[in-house]
């Protein structure tokens, strides 16, 4: 995973290097680079909360390159790096969680392509707030470590014991397709600098993100989401008069 992470960062930087230079020379604002810091939150069988396992949220960050298509739409390539964790022992209600004591953790390296929509058409604004929505497709690389060593077998029925056996024999995914969707808000400090805050929810198609399914709730899929705050740097200034660019 470390090699993949290094390659992902290198590709993200190199693939846009020429684009940065082009926009800087023409003076047309069509490209942004950004970084954000926040938390990753697991949502699944090892937490009773509908909003996910807030008690085990972990730090994460994003590197992204945003290609502005027009005043309303832009296309963003996003690299997210973080960690997910869930732990039954963090919850005393329902009581069985203290007896089941399942837990897991996994690093996450996610690469995705997202379409952003600014409903107010303020992609080129140099001051003020503007909301945005986004959705896309991506892939997350995982290294799931699950633990059932504190499981109290005497407390549970044979169905749960059989389910745990099935889970132990089940091969855990090393990676999963994801569909990130979310909402955010931007505040343009100047024509160059913008700060943003957003929430990104990931839809996935596995119940083994936490390493358990049959011994928990096989009808409930796992998911995760992140909250983050970041800073964005814009290359170039929009040529509002749309005059032709003269090159030497």
Using CA atoms, how far apart are residues 52 and 58, in angstroms rounded to an integer? 12
Q: How far is CA 181 from CA 80, 94, 200, 203, 218, in A?
A: 14, 31, 6, 8, 24
Using CA atoms, how far apart are residues 226 and 203, in angstroms rounded to an integer? 12
Using CA atoms, how far apart are residues 96 and 225, in angstroms rounded to an integer? 26
- What was the pLDDT predicted at 20? 47
Phi first, then psi: what are they for 52, rounded to 5°? 95, 180
- Please count the helices (runs of H) and the strands (runs of E) in the chain: 3, 9
The residue ranges of every structural domain in the chain are 41-235
Tokens of residue 206, six digits: 């596995």
Which has more confidence, 239 or 137? 137
Range 139-145 average pLDDT: 98
* Positions of E strands within 88-127: 103-117
Residue 6 above 90 pLDDT? no
Using CA atoms, how far apart are residues 212 and 162, in angstroms rounded to an integer? 12
Pairing of strands 73-87, 223-235: unpaired
Tokens of residue 18, six digits: 């020429």
Peptide bond into 108 cis (omega under 30): no
Domain 41-235 belongs to what architecture? Beta Barrel (2.40)
The 10s digit of each residue's pLDDT in 58-67 is: 999 999 999 9
- What was the pLDDT predicted at 183? 98
- What was the pLDDT predicted at 10? 53
Using CA atoms, how far apart are residues 127 and 123, in angstroms rounded to an integer? 10
What is the distance, to the nearest Å, from the Cα of residue 118 to the centroid of all Cα atoms in its chain?
Answer: 20
Residue 168 belongs to what H/E stretch?
Answer: helix 158-169
Peptide bond into 82 cis (omega under 30): no
- What was the pLDDT predicted at 30? 84
């Amino acid at each position: 995973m470390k090699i993949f992470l290094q390659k992902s960062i290198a590709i993200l930087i190199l693939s846009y290097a020429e684009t940065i230079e082009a926009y800087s020379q023409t003076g047309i604002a069509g490209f942004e680079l950004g970084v954000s810091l926040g938390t990753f939150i697991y949502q699944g069988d090892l937490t009773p909360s509908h909003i996910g396992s807030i008690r085990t949220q972990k730090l994460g960050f994003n590197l992204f390159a945003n290609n502005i298509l027009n005043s309303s739409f832009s296309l963003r390539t996003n690299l997210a790096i973080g960690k997910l964790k869930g732990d039954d022992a963090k919850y005393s209600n329902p009581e069985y969680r203290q007896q089941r004591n399942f837990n897991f953790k996994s690093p996450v390296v996610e690469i995705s392509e997202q379409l952003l929509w600014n409903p107010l058409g303020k992609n080129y604004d140099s001051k003020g707030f503007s909301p945005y929505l986004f959705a896309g497709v991506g892939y997350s690389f995982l290294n799931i470590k699950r633990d059932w060593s504190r499981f109290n077998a005497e407390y549970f029925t044979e169905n749960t014991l059989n389910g745990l056996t099935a889970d132990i024999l089940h091969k855990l995914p090393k990676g999963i397709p994801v569909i990130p969707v979310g909402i955010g808000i931007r505040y343009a400090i100047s024509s160059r600098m913008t700060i943003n805050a957003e929430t990104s929810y990931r839809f996935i198609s596995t119940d083994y993100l936490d390493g358990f399914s049959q011994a928990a709730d096989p009808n409930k899929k796992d998911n995760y989401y992140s909250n983050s705050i970041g800073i964005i740097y814009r290359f170039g200034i929009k040529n509002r008069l749309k005059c032709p660019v003269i090159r030497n």
